[in-house]
Amino acid sequence: MTILVTGSAGFIGANFVIDWLSEMDETVISLDKLTYAGNLNNLSEVEEDERHIFVNGDIGDSILIDRLLLIYKPRAVVNFAAESHVDRSIHEPEAFLQTNVIGTFRLLESSRRYYGELNEKDKRNFRFLHVSTDEVYGSLDADSPASAETESFQPNNPYSASKASSDHLVRAYYHTYDLPALTTNCSNNYGPYQFPEKLIPLVIHNAMAHKPLPIYGDGLQIRDWLYVGDHCEAIRMVLDEGSCGEVYNIGGLNEKANIEVVRLLCDILNELHPVSRNASITSYHDLITFVEDRPGHDRRYAIDASKIVAELGWHPAKSFTTSIQKTVEWYLNNQEWVEQVINGDYHQWIERQYA
């Protein structure tokens, strides 16, 4: 038994592969283009595992995808591959269209051809699972109910628009070609191996260097925070028990304002890694710096995860307090990993974005 996981060297994909190999006795064909956010070091835990086969490639390469499907005959394709950073999508939208829309289309086409050649038994067992985001639903008012799977899409930036497009393609391939597809829409993930352009690892990294902790606008943008380990468990359940053609929201059931998260991170860092006496600051809170808000910044995301809870029995296993502490400890204990994944391009990006 084999599954194909795309975007496997990224943050969520790598965590999924590691979790899968620790929980399941199935081979993983892991595909990643190894862009700036894809890093083979993320998969170092499984590099000696004979059940893990890594391929450097692009989901938009139809010839490669066709060959992998033909050789390894996976029972499932799990698509994590995506450009995912909103800030970058504002500056470089075309890359998001190429990967998230055209790439997903070509992956669907290859999967459709592969599925059409399977025998009836293998067709019954095959699944295409597409991993997406809550951002496709758009921004919510403070008193609005959380976004359910039936909500219409209202993306407000190039990233969320490209993901909404890919979600529609997956739906279309289920209804038009009977491809047994499922989609998951998750809230903000956090945990080990997240590239330090996202809020939590960026704050930890900058705090360790006594650099400003940039907060967009007033910092009161609200997000639902989901620990990546809980997300991976939910995806396994959807893959095994979800109904084809359905969408499942996966949320952390934990809404917090960005500034609240940053202040909590500062509290944890003050406890775990206190500022030295001769430093120019007395607390990591002193580094908090408010910067100009980004264009089209959605005010609130909130996910209604009642469907996956009711139908599949999933719910977040870890509390935010426990998981965020665990996440900070991981980054403090893996500073070498952080230094390896950031380079000159990263520093230039941070300076340009938060100047």
94 tagged catalytic = no
Q: HEC profile for the chain?
A: CEEEEECCCCHHHHHHHHHHHHHCCCEEEEEECCCCCCCHHHHHHHCCCCCEEEEECCCCCHHHHHHHHHHHCCCEEEECCCCCCHHHHHHCHHHHHHHHHHHHHHHHHHHHHHHHCCCHHHHHHCEEEEEEEHHHHCCCCCCCCCECCCCCCCCCCHHHHHHHHHHHHHHHHHHHHCCCEEEEEECEEECCCCCCCCHHHHHHHHHHCCCCEEEECCCCCEEEEEEHHHHHHHHHHHHHHCCCCCEEEECCCCEEEHHHHHHHHHHHHHHHCCCCCCCCCCCHHHHEEEECCCCCCCCECCECCHHHHHHHCCCCCCCHHHHHHHHHHHHHHCHHHHHHHCCHHHHHHHHHHHC
- Within 10 angstroms of residue 19's Cβ, the number of other Cβ atoms is 17
The single residue of 32, 87, 134, 304 carrying the catalytic annotation is 134
134 tagged catalytic = yes
135 tagged catalytic = yes
The single residue of 135, 233, 298, 304 carrying the catalytic annotation is 135
The single residue of 114, 137, 159, 354 carrying the catalytic annotation is 159
Q: Which residues are catalytic?
A: 134-135, 159
